[in-house]
Structure 1
Amino acid sequence: MQETTRTIQLAPSLMTMDLDQFKEQISFLNNKVNLYHIDIMDGHFVPNISLSPWFIEQTRKISDLPMSAHLMVTDAPFWVQQLIDVKCEMICMPAEVSNGVAFRLIDQIHDAGLKAGMVINPETPVDTLLPYIDLLDKITVMTVDPGFAGQRFLAGCLDKITQLRQLREEKGYGYEIEMDGSTNKAHWKMIADSNPDVYVIGRSGLFGLTDNIESSWQQMVSEYEECTGFKFDNGR
């Protein structure tokens, strides 16, 4: 019997969608998912270049869902201001380059009425966030090396999710915990056991399952339920 008490949030990574089916896929997902995950890469922090604040503006023409920007950039202050200008609801910065500007950027985001998050890459420990963890609205744990879709899943990173959940319960912090990287049939059970609040899902877990977004969605739900023992419930 499937348990029905756990609700998750699902955030499709729009970098991995089929751009030739952009409107069709977004229109379908608008009624299915909780928010959209927008990867912004500068070609320096990671070797790839992807999406931009302009992409958020274009997506808003066909969606009212919240946008969560995942910055993979070396110049965080520049990109934070760009995202504030387009009123991106959640701005998640790379912890690895935020030392020295973290408090200022978090305050800047909050002063604009938006939410502030941090992302930790596989080699980055949770302790890096401790000086300002109480100010964060979300913490994203990377379970793959960042920058490209299809990277190897790093199961050891799931321990950080467990650590962050325990810390939140002990200290009463308010951040959400998000995992990002290779969310698919091979890893649903491990990920569910670590129990993040938000699942970022991309090509291997959704967009690449079939050539049709509706059938891909149905297959994703079926695989989630089969692997985890939970009935799929994201509150929509």
Structure 2
Amino acid sequence: MTKYSPSLMCMDLSKFKEQVEVLNRKADFYHVDIMDGHFVKNITLSPFFIQELKKISKLPIDAHLMVENPSDFVDMTINAGADYISLHAETINGEAFRLAHHIKDKGKKFGVVLNPETPIEAIRHYIHHVDKLTIMTVDPGFAGQKFVVEMIDKIKEAKDLKEKHGYKYLITIDGSCNKNTFQQLLEAGAEVLIVGSSGLFNLNDDVEKAWDLMLKDVNNEENHLLQS
């Protein structure tokens, strides 16, 4: 069954509590982007945001660390209440095993994120430690970018590897998850859809109505797959 992770950098922060209270009843995870202005040329949310979110939600929080030095942020996000710590493979060469063990020793889940240009082969030696594998289907750093269709093959590869070796990671998609891409993503093997501006929040000012519209789009594609 498809799971959903709203990207909270795309929400209406003036309606933070109102929207979270609605999403608490509907979502499976929350996706929190933390950017440092160096790894990507943008600055968004923070460990403090996770701390505030934790006060009004019990859903698992996935902290996506788009930062140049992830080891500087790992403990901050853990202490703030994040449940999944998702690190970019491009930033953890030389400390991947140490960070994976540290995160798991703290009772949290170890996530890895791959930029569009980064092959799954890059994490081959520690993929068995990964709890959540996030495949970027846009270049990282900004919402509303064009879908990178070449990533469909990477999603299929992630699914094949998981089935062949019995890996436990959740195949998660970040970037342009919306009605134009749901079918391709689900067919390829996506398990968790990170929904942001185009997939959720821009569908209606009322987030409950927006959710229902998004779910209708996904259900249409899931029914299509079952019938094919």
TM-score (norm 1): 0.92
Residues matched between the structures, number: 225
CA RMSD of aligned residues (A): 1.2
Gaps (5+ residues) in structure 2? Answer: none
Identity %: 46
Q: Secondary structure at the match of 2:25?
A: coil
Distance 1:196 1:227 in 2: 13
Structure 2 counterpart of 1:14? 8
User: Which one of 28, 38, 41 corresponds to residue 32 of structure 2?
Assistant: 38
Deviations 1:138-197 (A, max 9, x none): 110000011000011001112111101111111111111101100111111111111211
Higher-RCO chain (CA-CA 8 Å, sequence separation at least 6): 1
User: Which one of 115, 119, 122 corresponds to residue 128 of structure 1?
Assistant: 122
Residue type at the aligned position of 2:178: N
Displacement of 1:228: 4.1
Is the deviation greater in 91-100 or in 165-174?
165-174
Q: Which runs of 4+ in 1 moved over 6 A?
A: none
Q: Secondary structure at the match of 2:85?
A: strand
Structure 1 counterpart of 2:156? 162
8 A contact 1:224–1:230 mirrored in 2: no
Deviations 1:191-222 (A, max 9, x none): 11112111100011111111111111111112
Structure 2 counterpart of 1:207? 201
Is the deviation greater in 168-177 or in 100-109?
168-177
8 A contact 1:179–1:198 mirrored in 2: yes
Structure 2 counterpart of 1:61? 55
User: Which one of 65, 69, 82 corresponds to residue 71 of structure 1?
Assistant: 65
TM-score (norm 2): 0.96
8 A contact 2:6–2:30 mirrored in 1: yes
Displacement of 1:128: 0.4
Residue type at the aligned position of 2:99: L
Gaps (5+ residues) in structure 1? Answer: 1-6, 232-236
Q: Secondary structure at the match of 2:156?
A: helix
Change in Cα spacing, 1:115 to 1:104, as seen in structure 2 (3 Å) is same
Distance 2:152 2:75 in 1: 31
